[in-house]
Amino acid sequence: MLWVKAFHIIFVVSWFAGLFYLPRLFVNHAMTQDTAVSTQLQVMERKLYRFVTPIGVLALATGLWLWLGYGIAGDWLMAKLFLVVALIAYHLYCAKLLSDFKQGHNTRSHIWYRWFNELPVLILIAVVILVVVKPF
Ligand code: HEM
C-alpha cells in the first residue's frame, strides 16, 4: 500500500507542476502581440499538456487504487473527491483555452489568467489538509 501511496504523491506533485506552469504560459501568451512568440508558446503549451495529462490520469488511478483497492475512505475522502472533480474540470478547461489560443480566439486578459492560475493552489491546500488532517 505504501508503494501505491508513494507513487500517488509523486504523480500528484508532477500533475500540479503542469497545472501551475500551463496557465503561466497562458498569461504570457495573452500579453504578447509578437507572432513568433505566440507560435513558440503554442508549441510549449501543447507539449506540456500532452505530457501532464497521462500523469494526471496516473494520479487519479493510484488514488482510486488506495480507495477501492485498500478500502481507505471516510467523509474527508468524499469532500476530497468533490475537489478532485473540480481539478479535472480545470484540467479539461485548459484544453479549451489552449485551442482558443491556437485558433486566435482568445478573449481573456493576462489579468484574468493570473487569477485563473491561482485556482489549483487553493484546491491543493484544501485537498492536502483533508487527506493528511482528515478533519471529518
Ligand atoms: C480519484 C482521485 C483520488 C482519490 C480516490 C484519492 C484517494 C487517496 C487515498 C485513499 C489516500 C490514502 C490516505 C491515507 O492513507 O490516509 C490518498 C493519499 C493522498 N492523496 Fe489522494 N486521491 C485522489 C486524488 C488526489 C489528488 C488530486 C491529490 C492532490 C491534490 C491527492 C493528494 C493526496 C496526498 C498528498 C496523499 C498522502 C496523504 C498521506 O500520506 O497522509 N490525491 N489519496
CA-72 nearest atom, ligand 1: 10
Q: How many helices (H) and strands (E) does the chain have?
A: 4, 0
Cβ–ligand 1 contact at 120 (below 6 Å): no
pLDDT (tens, 9 = 90+) of the chain, 136 residues, equals 999 999 999 999 999 999 999 999 999 999 999 999 999 999 999 999 999 999 999 999 999 999 999 999 999 999 999 999 999 999 999 999 999 999 999 999 999 999 999 999 999 999 999 999 999 9
Cβ–ligand 1 contact at 5 (below 6 Å): yes
pTM, two decimal places: 0.93
What total of structural domains would you count in the chain?
Answer: 1
Cβ–ligand 1 contact at 48 (below 6 Å): no
CB contact at 8 A, 63 and 8:
yes
Grid-cell match 487519479, residue found: 60
Determine the Cα–Cα distance for residues 109 and 30; give it in Å rounded to an integer.
Answer: 6
Range of the domain at 121: 2-133
Cβ–ligand 1 contact at 8 (below 6 Å): yes
**Which pLDDT value is given to residue 84?**
98
Question: Cell triple for residue 25?
Answer: 504560459
Determine the Cα–Cα distance for residues 38 and 32; give it in Å rounded to an integer.
Answer: 7
**Which pLDDT value is given to residue 133?**
97
Instruction: Compute the CA torsion angle 118, 41, 17, 55 (nearest 10 deg).
Output: 120
**Which pLDDT value is given to residue 30?**
97
